[in-house]
Amino acid sequence: MKSLQQETVAGTKSDEIDLIAGTSLWHDAWKRLRKNNMALSSGVIMVCLGVACLCGPALLGIMWGYDAHTQNLAYGPQPPSLQHPFGTDFYGRDLLVRVLTGARVSLSVGVLAALVAASIGTIYGAVSSYNGGLVDSFMMRIVDILYALPYMFLVIILVTILGKSLLLLFLALGAVGWLLTARVVRGQVMSLKEQDFILAARSLGTTSRGIIFRHLIPNTLGPVIVTFTLTVPSMILQEAFLSFLGLGVQPPQPSLGSLINDGANQMLVFWWTLVFPGGIMAIMLFALNFLGDGIRDALDPRMKI
Amino acid sequence: MIRLLSRRLLELVPTVLVIVVASFALVRLAPGSPFSSEKEIPAEIRQKLEAKYGFDKPLPEQFIRYLGNLLKGDLGLSTKYPQRTVNEIIANGFPVTLTLAAVALLWSLLVGITAGIIGAIRQNTVWDHAAMTAALVGISVPSFVLGPLLVLVVSLRLHLLPPAGWGDWQHVVLPGLTLGTIYAASIARLTRGGMLEVIRSDFIRTARAKGLSERLIVWRHMLRGALLPVVSYLGPAVASMLTGSVVVEKIFNVPGIGPYFVDAAFNRDYFLVMGIVLLYAFFLLFMNLVVDILYGFLDPRIDVS
């Protein structure tokens, strides 16, 4: 209770300052996010992980000559040591390099798939809601029907049709994952389109397309970002799910899912082959979920669970 | 009530029809054929095979025939397992998957609601933070990491439960835990959020003023309001439990329907893929209907009809 009071006191103080400086949604959100220690530390973890994924493999390659693909059976599976902090896998490849490379694949597939999903969902929801009436009910009926289809099965069918390539993997994930964004955006646009600035835009002769892309969509950005940040971890999870089943990223290219699958097959003897990729995956999802929650609380305090 | 049910069921007819058409088109328009796998089949035998399954006829005719059989409850023959009908495969596997999902659901509701209640009535205490951190960890550890870890610790090191297989109750425990934990975590967060919404509302104050015991207030009054978001989450949760069981069935070698689906999608086993997708879609639609009706019972303000 005490800390709550202090918080509100601090809140009113900075609000007074902002009254003079003027405040925007993003400014407010950033201020709220900065107070959220867990979200901030998650952000820092994600930045570190991102940098490690980007530079780590190359760095390890230059310094010690490790790379994710070259096999060296003589180095067999070795437990973690100073030379190989995560140990080596069955084919004598350094596991740290492979986990970092795999995390990079997982992260990029997750972000790209979430981007695809957010774009499709935003445009679909905005168009549907702006047109209203029959168009709206037809388009939303399609969303309802897609909701009723088993999501993962659809992705599996798409993957078998499109072939197991990395490029098509995130397209398949994104192509099925846009339903939530579409619903959120539709709800937002429903109330936005009745407002005066839309009437003003229309009376100035702005085309429907202009109104949707220049006026409506930018105003739904807050909720879209919130759903986007929470979609990224779920996309990473689904990519790993597919790779675990052998449907996603194909060897020798590592991904966290396929590394975990390899590790699970030999965990009894070589425990580190499961524990390290699994641990990195869990840390990544944990941080992303926390960050997503923080961003949601910051952008829309009412949505707070 | 009966009128309401029959109307809702009638509304499902067009949805079901669209799902049948869409999945038929998706599966059949995919490149490849059920007979184009490893070894070359002589043209003569191929023709006979195609005639047996009716693939030699034009697609619209095949669709009409499929629809006719579907109305009779006949899902067709499997091409991968020539001796078995799709009905048989589903009748063998689906009860297993359903049992697994039921155990997972029970576990997630039990743990999730308990943790959520503790979090809400002890808000901002150590208990609350512990429960919610546990929930976030639960959300962040995917089933394919949790499952192998549980096998490693519980089965292989402590020898408490069998690591794989299917038969008696002991085989259900680990897969059920693995599948349910992630949903337990979400349910805990939803329950806590819902409880906090109602905890300060007037009817709770009235209940306190009437002198009701704290236990009665929590169980009868708060929980009822708090369960609304949980109930609406159950539809999608059960859906993703059923599809998520694909991975769990693989880890624990459970003879459910999941492994068949992945195989079938790869081998273009048209009727088996269609059968499983339709089965799951029907099940989801049914679940959503149940959730809608439950909603009306939990919150008298919502008019179901």
Tell me how close the Cα of A115 comes to any Cα of chain B, in angstroms. Answer: 21
Say whether B142 and A240 touch across the interface (CB within 8 A): yes
**pLDDT per position as a tens digit, B116-130:** 888 888 877 788 888
Asked if residue A3 belongs to a domain, the reply is: no
Say whether B280 and A274 touch across the interface (CB within 8 A): no
Tell me the whole-structure pTM to 2 decimals.
0.75
CATH number of the domain at A143, please.
1.10.3720.10
Decide if A256 touches B, using CB distance below 8 A: no
CA-CA distance, A253 to A251, in Å (whole number)?
5
- Nearest CB to A267; choose among B30, B148, B247: B148
**pLDDT per position as a tens digit, B88-106:** 888 888 888 888 888 999 9
Asked if residue A61 belongs to a domain, the reply is: yes
The one-character DSSP state at A73 is G
- Nearest CB to A281; choose among B145, B266, B284: B145
Asked if residue A109 belongs to a domain, the reply is: yes
Asked if residue A28 belongs to a domain, the reply is: no
Domains identified in chain B and CATH numbers:
89-257 (1.10.3720.10)
Say whether B277 and A153 touch across the interface (CB within 8 A): yes
Tell me how close the Cα of B141 comes to any Cα of chain A, in angstroms. Answer: 5
**pLDDT per position as a tens digit, A233-274:** 888 888 888 887 777 777 777 788 888 877 777 766 677 777
pLDDT above 70 as % of chain B:
92
Measured in degrees and rounded to the nearest 5, phi and psi for residue B82 equal -60, -20
Tell me which chain B residue has its CA closest to the CA of residue A157.
B265
Q: Which residue has the tokens 């934990």?
A: B181
CA-CA distance, A223 to A140, in Å (whole number)?
19
Asked if residue A214 belongs to a domain, the reply is: yes
CA-CA distance, B222 to B205, in Å (whole number)?
11
Q: In this model, does residue A123 exceed pLDDT 80? A: yes
**pLDDT per position as a tens digit, B34-88:** 666 556 667 777 777 777 777 777 777 778 888 887 888 777 777 777 777 878 8
Substitution target in A37, A145, A158, A162 with the highest count of B β-carbons within 10 Å is: A145
Say whether B240 and A151 touch across the interface (CB within 8 A): yes
Burial class (CB in 10 A: 0-12, 13-18, 19+), A130: buried
Asked if residue A179 belongs to a domain, the reply is: yes
Are B69 and B59 contacting, i.e. CB atoms less than 8 angstroms apart? no
State how many domains chain A has. 1
Q: Which residue has the higher pLDDT, A225 or A303?
A: A225
Tell me how close the Cα of A25 comes to any Cα of chain B, in angstroms. Answer: 24
Q: What SS3 class is residue A93?
A: coil
**pLDDT per position as a tens digit, B171-219:** 777 888 888 888 888 888 888 888 887 777 788 888 888 888 888 888 8
